[in-house]
Structure 1
Amino acid sequence: MANPNGRGRLLPLLSTPHKGGRSALTCQFRCGNACAHDVANTTENAYFGDVVKEALSRRGMLRAGALGALVAGAGVVGAVPALADEPEAADARHGGDSADIRFTPVPPNKDDALRIPDGYQSSVVVRWGDPVLPDAPDFDFDNQTPDAQAKQFGYNCDYVTLFPLGRDRALLWVNHEYTDESLMFRGYTGGAEATEDQIKIGLAAHGGSVVEIERGRGAGEWKLVTSGRRRYNRRVTAQTPMRFSGPAAGNALLRTASDPKGVKPVGMLNNCSGGTTPWGTVLTAEENFDQYFVNGDKVPEAQKPFITRYTITTGTPSGNRRFDRIEERFDLAKHPQEANRFGWIVEIDPFDPDSTPIKRTALGRFKHEAATTTLSRDGRLVVYMGDDSRFEYIYKFVSKDRYISGFDRHNRDLLDEGTLYVAKFTGDSPKTEIDGSGKPPSDGLFDGSGEWVPLVSGDKSYVDGMTAAEVLVYTRVAADKVGATKMDRPEDMERNPVTGGVYVALTNNTNRTAAQADEANPRAANKHGHVLEIVERRDDAGEKTFAWSLPLVCGDPNDPATYFAGYDKTKVSPISCPDNVAFDRDGNLWIATDGNQLDSHDGMFVMPVRGKERGHLRQFLTVPTGAETCGPLVTEDQRSVFVAVQHPGEIDGATPDNPASRWPDGDQPRPAVAVVWHGKGKQIGA
């Protein structure tokens, strides 16, 4: 049931000004109105369309390879697309036809329901407030307590992954990205006036959950285990003791009054995407941590440029939950280093509920999205990561030592020593052909070459004027200095288990101008986003060079500025704002969206990336009113698709007394993880 490739896994998928398709409530509580703020990246790095080089030889990328132990036995064929006039070569380069996908697409809609194709069924696996620990009370919306929430399923649900416990049971890990107190509590008026219990409940509702689940009716349904010992069940919150590991652990930049050695951070915040390791642990990514702090203007002068680069604002940000009223560490006037202790990849062992979560400093600090792992050709561990903000970067970590199957004591140190890289992209078309309209250049494709630029390796910094610890704590600044390529909100990254290509969801960037358009980000005011594919030289994740292309430029298929890998656009579903991606065992790309700007609810889509159906994108489901689609996760037997339905009912003006959604139970909206399966037990999509 498990494939440790992370989310590209076969496991087992207000009034404040705001932009985009989200509600003002979502902008306020999820990211602190990030889009209303000035762009944090003010460097003058060349947009890669300014520098034109020859692309890597595509035919040099076509060697078959192996992905090592993570997908042992799966042949890998280079996934670089052929030119538009080479359809036969395109099929060959993508490994032939993928398995047929057969279902009637769900049409765009605004229904307050989880809409799925005809012939399919769905059920809720776990929802906000469901008991996680055996002694947790049943959920009572009007009588919540901090102690109860610390034992119950947290609010919101983003990244999900499975760990098998035999054939019919598994552990489900779920990130709890953020809280929306205006929907959680009646009469909520803001952090400054919130009760202490409301603030404490918010702290406890962040983090993540481990819950045991079991198969229900047939092979496709899964349900929460509600009886017995449930010895693996666990809540991780914003108050869980953790530890730092890696080169920056103990550095002065991580020390505080309560932790003078700089090795014992407390809690994790705004965990969005993630991944898994070959040794069976979760890697969960802290994203919009900046919004939880107050008094960013009162840190020492030398620290202010770094605070600003991480979008920590002055005073008290709008929508701030005022955690500082309960724990003064969130007041940077008193504890200026505390913000440095967030923004990391956190490793958690789901099989040991007493283990201490580890913040892995060798993977750098930024607004993390994804932590997808694979193995290089020589067996080193590779981790792909995105930084989800406008004009931010794509990263890769390669361990110094090799993974040894079954040697846990050795493997668990792999994430502490290695080289952290940032991506630099180059287009292969003249800049005059990239005008910001989204019109493809004369060769018919947005594509080119790239390189992974080293930032730091252990205690060695490759960035002038920065120590290794500074590179790891202020990774954005280091990437600025080496001229990394500014991207349109790099979110999830996953590696295709069949072709070996690495796919990146670039959600949107309405701030990009026509002058800033480049071949990898070809549209000005990019409100619909696109998907980028990276194919590394010799199909080796450890390589330092790669080819890239855009197989999907999202939007209304009737818009000429959209591209569906060359497929007939009269036969595809419209898609906007790709956020999370995954693959099934046949190598089909599954996409979850966030912030649909096509006047429909967000949803989940599937698209073959090879063969005659390459680019034939179809909508598999839509989520309820106000919700974002997270996950997705396709089980290895391809009988189930898990989807995290995040923030249902998060619509401007909604309150508990006037809810905009009543999903899933007909009363108050509750974020939940659902599972979808075929009613006749068939494989998903068949």
Structure 2
Amino acid sequence: MFLRKDLRRVIPATPPLITSHGTRHSPETCTFKCGNACSRDAPNTSGNSYFGDLLRRALSRRALLGCGALSLVSPTTTAARAQEPGPREQETGRRGFAPVSPDSGDRVTVPEGFTHELLIGWGDAVLPGAPPFDFDRQSEAAQARQFGVNNDYCALVPLRAAGQWLMVSNHEYATEPLMFPDWNPEVPAEAHVRTTWMAYGLSVVLVEQRGDGGLRARVDGRWNRRITLLSPFEVRGPAAGSPLLRTSVDPAGTRVLGTMANCSGGITPWGTVLSGEENVHMPFAHADKVADPLVREGLRRYGFAEGPSLRGWEAHDTRFDLGREPHEAHRFGWIVELDPLEPDSVPVKHTALGRFKHEGANVSTAPDGRVVAYMGDDERFEYIYKFVSDGRVRPGDDPAARRHNKRLLDSGTLYVARFDGDDAAEEIDGSGRLPADGAFDGTGRWIPLAHNDRSFVPGMSAAEVYIFTRIAADRVGATPMDRPEDVQPHPVTRRVYASLTNNDQRGAPGLPAPDEANPRSGNRDGHVLELCERKDDPTAERFHWRLLLVCGDPESPGTYYAGIDKARVSAISSPDNLAFDEHGNLWIATDAGGRGGRNDGLYMVPLDGPERGQVQRFLTVPTGAECCGPVIGPDFVLVSVQHPGELPGASPQQPASHWPDGGSAQPRASIIVVRRKDGGPILGGDG
């Protein structure tokens, strides 16, 4: 791949900014993407305590964890940083770009000296024979051969030929009122429903580098694929075949049709792509008609609604009617593995990694060769997880090694995280102000939930742990977090970074209070957590953690930017997806919903040296759009622009955006390529 020292990474993103005003997420985005999750009560009512007082250790953290590299910045170092010159938003330093200003226009903004162009967008041809996209004449047959809607995560898997990759893109959700001019919310037409099924899933597209350094997507009959809601998937791992996964059309419980709500993901060391099924509760109807008490409790814990569904899919396929097929819901909410290098392979749903609202999964290889997958459950007061394989990576990319490695996620131990702060509870007052020791930090533990057919959760079988993972995590006392999304291991240092996007219910009556790992009441701006496991071993069950960023207005005393002078940073809110470049810098995409009338964007932040914590805005996306799926290469950046023009009052008759085609065109979610005009590296200077 293109990153030094196996810094292989493809990562998604989301939007930017800050102010006291609310988000501009349109009602359609909130409704059709996540079912208005932020406006209803969080499904976690477990009441898990914060364990700061219960688990405080007398041993020093360094002695226990061997993570001396995570020691706090000294006051001397902080003071030296504050004396460094350079006006806000204008320094280039090792970044090699001048940060862009906030923007609210219907356009992409990039730094001076950079350019961007469209790579592929919704409706563009993926498979041979695909017709040109026609917004007014969409069909199931056409969409099955075209690029899907609302692209999110994006990955590049290299082919042997230099300058060629297979790009894998997730298609998270459809906004039918903006997708079909004549969509009927009361009785959705079957043609619209079936076209939507084809717009979900994943696209695999051959991408190659042009002579001028740009990229182009190719229609290709050998490599390109569309994975949709009707594509077959194999179910593997310890819960495969469980009675809770069996349905009338799949009495064995080992084969599922389709994937949906695919949000973020990751690339494995063996060249496959992992994709997280997130808001899978959305299309299902009639949870109130389920009789089994355990299944009913599981549906409630995962946010499945009673009555008819929003999209009316149950009228066209009975599997979406839980009164008829109560176990169909259990067949979604997994980590999916797709092998783009084997176009005829059947993708897999991995039960060993647990079932919840997966943002994604990102893999690190331990010193002993075992693999560790880190995962976040994207909802308020949910948890951070990891999976440690039993087997070890076999080096090489020969067929035998790949066959072996593609079974590594079938067997291992699933864990959930519990965080312990090191400051007195009264110092965490919900304001975001630092405690006396100058940092939000502490220790923690990975609590085992299950190992293959063995459960570590009293009263639950192993299959129940994997299928109702949220309930299992509740029972063992995991720490409820502020919407844990991307959880990324650094490819070189092995430190783990987690984005906690926001949680406006933190500290509300009857809900978990602020704690050191989630230190603000009504947390609207989110934070980024940095975690170091004992002896830098990803398989360890103990870790040390601290907050790298407490996001929000840099002028607010309740924000923190790794100790750097906050006059030197770009304001950032609601961190969502994370990525690394070849120099080890962290890139953050945010999901602030256009807060303050400002568009979303992509940010870069160094993790070491005097610039550690100096967040800088690299680009912004068009009005109403979310910035997703960044891939950070040495000389180009890919960004997925999701749901452009989804603003209050928008409709096909009165679109709020005409990006990317301009004129009077309807907006289309798309992937763009950003590069320097002179063809040089994205990051100049001393790197």
TM-score by length of 1: 0.92
Amino acid at match of 2:338: I
Post-superposition offset of 1:3: 6.1
Give the conservation status (yes or no) of the 8 Å contact 2:527–2:549: yes
Q: Choose the corresponding residue for 1:197, options 176, 191, 202.
A: 191
Q: 1:240 to 1:101 in 2, by over 3 A?
A: same
Describe how 1:87-106 pairs up with structure 2 within 5 A. 87=77, 100-106=94-100
Post-superposition offset of 1:214: 1.1
Post-superposition offset of 1:301: 3.9
3-state SS, counterpart of residue 552 of structure 2: coil
The corresponding residue for 2:301 is 309
Matched, 1:556 2:559: no
The corresponding residue for 1:541 is 538
The corresponding residue for 1:411 is 405
Post-superposition offset of 1:82: 1.4
Q: 1:547 to 1:90 in 2, by over 3 A?
A: farther
> Which moved further from structure 2: 385-394 or 489-498?
489-498
Give the conservation status (yes or no) of the 8 Å contact 1:241–1:356: yes
Give the conservation status (yes or no) of the 8 Å contact 2:23–2:596: no
Post-superposition offset of 1:4: 12
The corresponding residue for 2:571 is 574
* Whole-Å separation in 2 of the counterparts to 1:5 and 1:345: 26
Post-superposition offset of 1:498: 3.4
* Whole-Å separation in 2 of the counterparts to 1:589 and 1:422: 24
Post-superposition offset of 1:598: 4.0
Give the conservation status (yes or no) of the 8 Å contact 1:56–1:448: no
- Aligned-residue Cα RMSD (Å) equals 2.3
Q: 1:598 to 1:553 in 2, by over 3 A?
A: farther
* Whole-Å separation in 2 of the counterparts to 1:483 and 1:324: 36
Q: Choose the corresponding residue for 1:293, options 284, 296, 313.
A: 284
* Whole-Å separation in 1 of the counterparts to 2:307 and 2:58: 47
Matched, 1:264 2:267: no
Describe how 1:626-641 pairs up with structure 2 within 5 A. 626-635=624-633, 638-641=634-637
Post-superposition offset of 1:89: 13
Unpaired segments ≥5 residues, structure 1 = 64-76, 92-97
The corresponding residue for 1:175 is 170
* Whole-Å separation in 1 of the counterparts to 2:373 and 2:330: 21
The corresponding residue for 2:319 is 329
* Whole-Å separation in 2 of the counterparts to 1:612 and 1:19: 34
3-state SS, counterpart of residue 75 of structure 2: coil
* Whole-Å separation in 1 of the counterparts to 2:619 and 2:565: 21
Q: Choose the corresponding residue for 1:254, options 216, 227, 245.
A: 245
Which digits, 9 at most, give the CA deviation of each residue in 1:318-370, with x for residues without a partner? xx111112211000011011000000001111122221111010000000012
* Whole-Å separation in 1 of the counterparts to 2:339 and 2:235: 15
* Whole-Å separation in 1 of the counterparts to 2:268 and 2:106: 36
Q: 1:284 to 1:11 in 2, by over 3 A?
A: closer
3-state SS, counterpart of residue 94 of structure 2: coil
Amino acid at match of 1:184: M
Q: 1:244 to 1:274 in 2, by over 3 A?
A: same
Give the conservation status (yes or no) of the 8 Å contact 2:7–2:582: no
* Whole-Å separation in 1 of the counterparts to 2:554 and 2:238: 48
Give the conservation status (yes or no) of the 8 Å contact 1:245–1:358: yes
The corresponding residue for 1:380 is 370
Post-superposition offset of 1:87: 2.9
Give the conservation status (yes or no) of the 8 Å contact 1:420–1:457: yes
Which digits, 9 at most, give the CA deviation of each residue in 1:506-544, with x for residues without a partner? 100001017610001000000111100111111111111
The corresponding residue for 2:514 is 517
Q: 1:651 to 1:101 in 2, by over 3 A?
A: same
Give the conservation status (yes or no) of the 8 Å contact 1:4–1:11: no
* Whole-Å separation in 2 of the counterparts to 1:651 and 1:425: 38
Q: Choose the corresponding residue for 2:266, options 275, 288, 292.
A: 275
Describe how 1:609-648 pairs up with structure 2 within 5 A. 609-635=607-633, 638-648=634-644
Describe how 1:152-551 pairs up with structure 2 within 5 A. 152-165=146-159, 166-190=161-185, 192-219=186-213, 221-226=214-219, 229-302=220-293, 303-317=295-309, 320-406=310-396, 407-513=401-507, 516-551=513-548
Matched, 1:661 2:683: no
Which digits, 9 at most, give the CA deviation of each residue in 1:113-155, with x for residues without a partner? 0110000010111100011111211111111110110110000
* Whole-Å separation in 1 of the counterparts to 2:217 and 2:495: 34
Q: 1:299 to 1:11 in 2, by over 3 A?
A: closer
Give the conservation status (yes or no) of the 8 Å contact 1:45–1:483: yes
Give the conservation status (yes or no) of the 8 Å contact 1:418–1:457: yes
Which digits, 9 at most, give the CA deviation of each residue in 1:629-686, with x for residues without a partner? 1111112xx1011111000011111111100011101111000011101111221132
Post-superposition offset of 1:79: 4.8
Q: 1:52 to 1:83 in 2, by over 3 A?
A: farther
> Which moved further from structure 2: 98-107 or 419-428?
98-107
Amino acid at match of 1:178: Y
3-state SS, counterpart of residue 456 of structure 1: strand
> Which moved further from structure 2: 133-142 or 463-472?
133-142
Post-superposition offset of 1:37: 2.0
Matched, 1:35 2:32: no
Which digits, 9 at most, give the CA deviation of each residue in 1:96-117, with x for residues without a partner? xx99113111111101101100
Give the conservation status (yes or no) of the 8 Å contact 1:290–1:339: yes
TM-score by length of 2: 0.92
Describe how 1:18-97 pairs up with structure 2 within 5 A. 20-51=23-54, 53-54=56-57, 57=60, 59-60=62-63, 79-85=69-75, 87=77
Post-superposition offset of 1:501: 1.1
The corresponding residue for 1:74 is none
3-state SS, counterpart of residue 390 of structure 2: strand
Q: What is the aligned-residue identity percentage?
A: 51
Describe how 1:91-170 pairs up with structure 2 within 5 A. 100-165=94-159, 166-170=161-165
Give the conservation status (yes or no) of the 8 Å contact 1:159–1:272: yes
Post-superposition offset of 1:58: 5.0
Give the conservation status (yes or no) of the 8 Å contact 1:295–1:316: yes
* Whole-Å separation in 2 of the counterparts to 1:277 and 1:45: 33
Q: 1:499 to 1:56 in 2, by over 3 A?
A: farther
Post-superposition offset of 1:278: 1.4
Q: 1:184 to 1:217 in 2, by over 3 A?
A: farther
Give the conservation status (yes or no) of the 8 Å contact 1:639–1:681: yes
* Whole-Å separation in 1 of the counterparts to 2:163 and 2:37: 42
Give the conservation status (yes or no) of the 8 Å contact 1:630–1:644: yes
Give the conservation status (yes or no) of the 8 Å contact 2:10–2:154: no
* Whole-Å separation in 2 of the counterparts to 1:646 and 1:6: 29
The corresponding residue for 1:9 is 9
Give the conservation status (yes or no) of the 8 Å contact 2:50–2:515: yes
Amino acid at match of 1:475: T
Post-superposition offset of 1:81: 4.1
Q: Choose the corresponding residue for 1:608, options 606, 609, 623.
A: 606
Amino acid at match of 1:650: E
The corresponding residue for 1:66 is none
Equivalent residues, number: 655
Which digits, 9 at most, give the CA deviation of each residue in 1:153-180, with x for residues without a partner? 0001111000112221111000000001
Amino acid at match of 2:654: N
Amino acid at match of 1:9: R
Post-superposition offset of 1:500: 2.0
* Whole-Å separation in 2 of the counterparts to 1:288 and 1:7: 30
* Whole-Å separation in 2 of the counterparts to 1:162 and 1:658: 36
Which digits, 9 at most, give the CA deviation of each residue in 1:590-621, with x for residues without a partner? 00111243431110000001100001110000
Post-superposition offset of 1:47: 2.2
* Whole-Å separation in 2 of the counterparts to 1:628 and 1:374: 28
Q: Choose the corresponding residue for 1:650, options 632, 646, 652.
A: 646
Amino acid at match of 1:313: A
3-state SS, counterpart of residue 369 of structure 1: coil
Post-superposition offset of 1:55: 8.2
Give the conservation status (yes or no) of the 8 Å contact 1:8–1:493: no
Give the conservation status (yes or no) of the 8 Å contact 2:10–2:156: no
